[in-house]
Amino acid sequence: MAPHKTLITRTLVLILALWGLAVIVPDFDRVVTAYATLGFQADNDGVITAVDGPPASAGGFGKNDCVDLKRTALPDLLAVFGGMGGMTYVRPGLEVTLYVEPAPCTPSYSGAKPRVLKARLKEATPANRLMLAVDEILGVFFIVMGTVLVWQRPNAMTWGFFLYGLWFNPGQYFVFYAEFQRYPYLLLTQEVLQAAAQAVGYGGFVTFALRFPHNEVEPQWRFAERLLPLLVAVLFVLQLASFGTGLGFETEMIGRWSYAAGYAVDIVVLLILRFRRKTQAPEDQQRTRWVHWGVPRRPACLHLRRQQHGHLVLESVTTADCPRPRSWPASCSTQLWLSPSFTPFAGIVSSMSASR
């Protein structure tokens, strides 16, 4: 590669890596300090799905009450729906005014009344803090190692892995979003970047599956690679549209389609790895197994972890802080992400090194 192209490539890699780190590193603060919540969860149509405690419980909020997305001010909407998914962490002392109609809700929300909530601290247990620290360390490790790989061997395969790991890593980003709630338009810009990172990350995931371990695409799979720009565009539009709740639009169905599309990509990657492995040399088959073994279990929690802005830090030692669609169960086992996510990762790194 020409020197000027190498410089441009490495500059781009550094910018992207620094952005990825800037999103997750602030959550190290939650390892030692408490952050606040509003005490409830709502879906992307504004329907309250759970009341977890104060201040919502003390303010008379109930399940199936509805937030009027049109009348509630933008900064207050973003405090609840910015980033999407589950119970939102907010800045300590934040005060929001939400227009809420008690269930059953009417299409016009004619019964919605303003209710003021002042965020309260949510203390974390030692187990919560330990698992959060593990999340953050592994998230940083994931991004740094992806950066090293693409820095040393800049090709489509390593770029695919880097772009995938940039967003789909165990690191959490609740503090980043909570602090950005001070600046609504910057937060909206970040949501556009998040939608792009997720879509490109999925595209990178498929690219990596098509090219691992020698950065080569067999002739029978080239059509799939040609379809990747369309896939990325569709995923970007779906994800971006699902953020419309913060702008006053009901987007629960769009959000579910976005999740479904993401899991469809996971299934496609599994199939690609399985069928490609059958035609590979024995040495490459073992390398591909490292990746294949980790993929079936990884999406169950890792994609949810970084796919949407859901919360619930460990409720017990065995309950992971697993972001999820708003209507999904609140917990998932740490076994679904901790070991499976990084066992194949170690294999990927060693396989790439061995095939240089």
pLDDT of residue 326: 38
Query: Domain total for the chain?
Result: 2
Q: What is the CATH number of the domain that holds 40?
A: 2.30.42.10
224, 291: one domain = yes
The domain boundary, picked from 107, 122, 137, lies at: 122
55, 203: one domain = no
pLDDT of residue 340: 39
72, 169: one domain = no
251, 139: one domain = yes
Residue 92 belongs to some domain of the structure: yes
pLDDT of residue 328: 36
Residue 3 belongs to some domain of the structure: no
Range of the domain at 62: 35-122
pLDDT of residue 252: 92
Residue 301 belongs to some domain of the structure: yes
pLDDT of residue 319: 33
274, 209: one domain = yes
Residue 2 belongs to some domain of the structure: no
pLDDT of residue 189: 95
pLDDT of residue 193: 96
Residue 178 belongs to some domain of the structure: yes
85, 134: one domain = no
116, 144: one domain = no
Q: What is the pTM of this model?
A: 0.84
pLDDT string in tens for the chain (356-residue length): 677 778 889 999 999 999 999 999 999 999 999 999 999 999 999 999 999 889 999 999 999 999 999 999 999 999 998 865 566 789 999 999 999 999 999 999 999 999 999 999 988 899 999 999 999 999 999 999 999 999 999 999 999 999 999 998 889 989 999 999 889 999 999 999 999 999 999 999 999 999 999 999 999 999 999 999 999 999 999 999 999 999 999 999 999 999 899 989 989 998 999 999 999 998 888 888 877 776 644 444 444 444 443 333 333 333 334 443 333 333 333 333 443 344 445 555 555 554 55
Closest listed residue to residue 133, CA positions, set 25, 20, 31: 31
pLDDT of residue 3: 74
The domain boundary, picked from 122, 144, 176, lies at: 122
